[in-house]
């Protein structure tokens, strides 16, 4: 590919380079945008490096924002968008195995590129589309190799998060980690304890959401990086080794929540433990709850079918409760989104045989019927939430002459489940009649 096409497509970036060059400064596209242009991949973020000092960059453009002056970064604001422009720099000793204690401005591009993590990210492109590649990043990409710039031990020692980035880049770009880089990663793995969990979570999410989640998982297992997190997670990651075929199937799932649900389901630990682990990883509440709901639903259906459910559960007091009844009640309690997500996972997992354990038993017994009929059963459910019921708590209080209290939610849930089971229509009078009978 002609890497210079990035400048033809992004006139804003081209304009920034032109203005800085006209003012007598060097200016280049750097980092990931150059890498992706060389690989003929979609360009996401554009970064620009220049010999101009921050105040000189500000003087070249009518609108700028001092978004990172401590690192020499100025954001140029154009009609086409915003562009981060950073002065060439070298970095002092890193603090906390994450960030440099200080930076010094320099005028040499190669010295600036020297501080970057991997050779494929240490390339630059000038305004004419010429690629500057002092560390042979293009050659490494052509060979399918991921290699650190300079000594890998130093790069990982400077910023321990680079080890997770190594896993992500290797899986995303289908690269083999160069041997000395891999050995340095294994040796420096304990340094990951210094990295904040939110940084770890961000890298993990990008891995699992990427084009090769199975390769990312296998590299994580081989690196043992998960043993050195700042907070130890109660998750037996090594169990993924027993589900090799299932790992390959993860990429068939389009939604990141589905991918996480499947991967965490394969660990065969209680859903509540998974929820705690996701909280430790700083997943958002919405993301954590979405995954937990799927795992909890499968767990509850399995428990009820095996006789381990709540024997006092009025909605399921049949012996044994048929799968259709269990599925509808539990789906209503977990929510329609969780139920449909679980069915998506089962369609992928159910054909994969040869494993042992409770999950494998579920896949051999309940899953085939759920895959075959689960969607039809869900379509028969008239409503999945209390908001969709034809009556409200206020209606119940008025009809029964009672003050609002905990009883109200329990009764509404009872009515919701009875409608789900087809035992009464979702109609006001029928629901009020059932409420009076249950009082």
Encode pLDDT of 366-393 as tens digits.
999 999 999 999 999 999 999 999 999 9
Task: Please provide the CATH number assigned to the domain covering 386-439.
Answer: 1.10.246
Query: Mean of the per-residue pLDDT values for the chain?
Result: 91
Token match 């990427």: residue? Answer: 210
Give me the mean pLDDT over the 272-292 stretch: 97
Which pLDDT does position 62 carry in this prediction? 95
Residues 254-264 pLDDT 10s: 999 999 999 99
Q: Write out pLDDT tens, residues 401-427.
A: 888 888 989 999 999 999 999 999 999
pLDDT for position 321 = 65
Q: Identify the H or E element spanning 194.
A: none
335: left (phi over 0), alpha (psi -120 to 50) or beta: left
Per-residue pLDDT tens over the stretch 203-242: 999 999 999 999 999 999 999 999 999 999 999 999 999 8
Global model pTM greater than 0.85: yes
| Residue 45 pLDDT level (bands cut at 50, 70, 90) | confident
How many CB atoms neighbour CB 364 within 10 A?
Answer: 12
Contact predicate 158/130, CB 8 Å = no
335 and 384 Cβ atoms separated by less than 8 Å: yes
Joined together, the tokens standing for residue 102 give 């200080």
Convert the pLDDT of each residue in 152-190 to its tens digit. 999 999 999 999 999 999 999 999 999 999 999 999 999
Query: Where, residue-wise, is CATH 1.10.246 in the chain?
Result: 386-439
9: confidence class by pLDDT, cuts 50, 70, 90: confident
Q: Give the pLDDT confidence of 303-348 residue by residue, as tens digits.
A: 988 877 766 576 676 555 699 999 999 999 999 999 999 999 999 9
Q: What stretch(es) of the chain map to CATH 1.10.110.30? A: 144-232
Looking at CATH, the fold of the domain delimited by 1-138 is given as Beta Polymerase; domain 2 (3.30.460)
Distances (CA, A) of 3 to 28, 172, 411: 13, 20, 65
Average the pLDDT over 269-277 and give the result.
96
User: With bands split at pLDDT 50, 70 and 90, how would you rate the model's confidence at 4?
Assistant: low
pLDDT at 92 over 60: no
CATH number 1.10.1040.10 given to 144-232: no
- pLDDT higher for 99 or 273? 273
pLDDT greater than 80 at residue 1: no
Question: Where in the chain do CATH 3.30.460.10 domains reside?
Answer: 1-138
Per-residue pLDDT band for 96 (boundaries 50, 70, 90) equals low
CB 131 within 8 A of CB 159: no
Q: Kindly list the distances between the CA atom of residue 120 and the CA atoms of 13, 108, 186, in Å, as whole numbers in the listed order.
A: 20, 19, 21
358: confidence class by pLDDT, cuts 50, 70, 90: confident
User: What is the predicted pLDDT for the residue at 67?
Assistant: 85
430 has pLDDT over 70:
yes
Please check whether residue 346 is in contact with residue 363, taking contact to mean a CB–CB distance below 8 angstroms: yes
Q: Give pLDDT, residue 267.
A: 95
| Token representation of residue 192 | 């990951």
Percent of the chain with pLDDT over 90: 77
pLDDT at residue 374 in the model: 96
Q: Which residue has tokens 């604001």?
A: 77
**Residue 297 half-sphere exposure, CB side, CA atoms within 13 Å?**
29
Identify any residues that bridge with 86 across adjacent strands, giving them in sequence order.
49, 73
Band of the pLDDT at 354, cuts 50, 70, 90? Answer: low
Q: How confident is the model at residue 55 (pLDDT cuts 50, 70, 90)?
A: very high
């Amino acid at each position: 590919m002609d890497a210079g096409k990035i400048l033809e497509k992004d006139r804003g970036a081209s304009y920034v380079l032109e203005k800085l060059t006209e003012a007598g400064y060097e200016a280049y596209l750097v980092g990931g945008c150059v890498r992706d242009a060389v690989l003929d991949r979609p360009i996401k973020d554009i970064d620009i490096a220049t010999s101009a000092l921050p105040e000189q960059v500000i003087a070249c453009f009518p609108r700028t924002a001092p978004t990172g002056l401590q690192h020499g970064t100025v954001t140029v604001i154009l009609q086409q968008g915003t562009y981060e422009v950073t002065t060439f720099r070298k970095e002092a000793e890193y603090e906390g195995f994450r960030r440099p204690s200080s930076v010094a401005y320099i005028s040499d591009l190669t010295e600036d590129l020297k501080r970057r993590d991997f050779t494929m990210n240490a390339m630059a492109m000038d305004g004419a589309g010429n690629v500057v590649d002092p560390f042979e990043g293009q050659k490494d990409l052509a060979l399918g190799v991921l290699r650190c710039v300079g000594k890998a031990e130093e790069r990982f020692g400077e910023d321990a998060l680079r080890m997770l980035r190594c896993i992500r880049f290797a899986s995303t770009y289908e690269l083999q980690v160069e041997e000395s880089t891999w050995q340095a990663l294994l040796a420096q793995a304990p340094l990951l304890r210094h990295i904040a969990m939110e940084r770890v979570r961000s890298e993990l999410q990008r891995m699992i959401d990427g084009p090769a989640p199975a390769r990312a998982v296998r590299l994580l297992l081989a690196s043992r990086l998960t043993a050195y997190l700042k907070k130890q997670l109660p998750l037996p990651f090594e169990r993924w080794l027993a589900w090799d075929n299932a790992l390959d199937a993860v990429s068939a799932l389009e939604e990141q929540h589905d991918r996480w649900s499947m991967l965490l389901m394969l660990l065969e630990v209680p859903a509540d433990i998974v929820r705690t682990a996701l909280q430790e990883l700083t997943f958002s509440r919405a993301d954590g709850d979405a995954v937990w709901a799927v795992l909890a639903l499968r767990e509850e259906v399995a428990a009820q079918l095996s006789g381990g459910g709540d024997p006092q559960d009025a909605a399921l007091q049949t012996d044994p409760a048929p799968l259709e009844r269990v599925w509808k009640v539990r789906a209503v309690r977990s929510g329609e989104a969780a139920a449909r997500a679980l069915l998506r996972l089962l369609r992928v997992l159910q054909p994969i045989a040869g494993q042992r354990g409770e999950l494998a038993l579920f896949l051999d017994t309940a899953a085939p019927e759920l895959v075959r009929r689960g969607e039809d059963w869900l379509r028969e459910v008239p409503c999945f939430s209390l908001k969709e019921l034809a009556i409200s708590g206020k209606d119940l209080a008025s009809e029964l002459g009672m003050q609002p209290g905990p009883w109200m939610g329990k009764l509404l849930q009872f009515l919701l489940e009875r409608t789900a089971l087809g035992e009464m229509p979702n109609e006001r009078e029928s629901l009020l009649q059932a409420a009076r009978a249950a009082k």
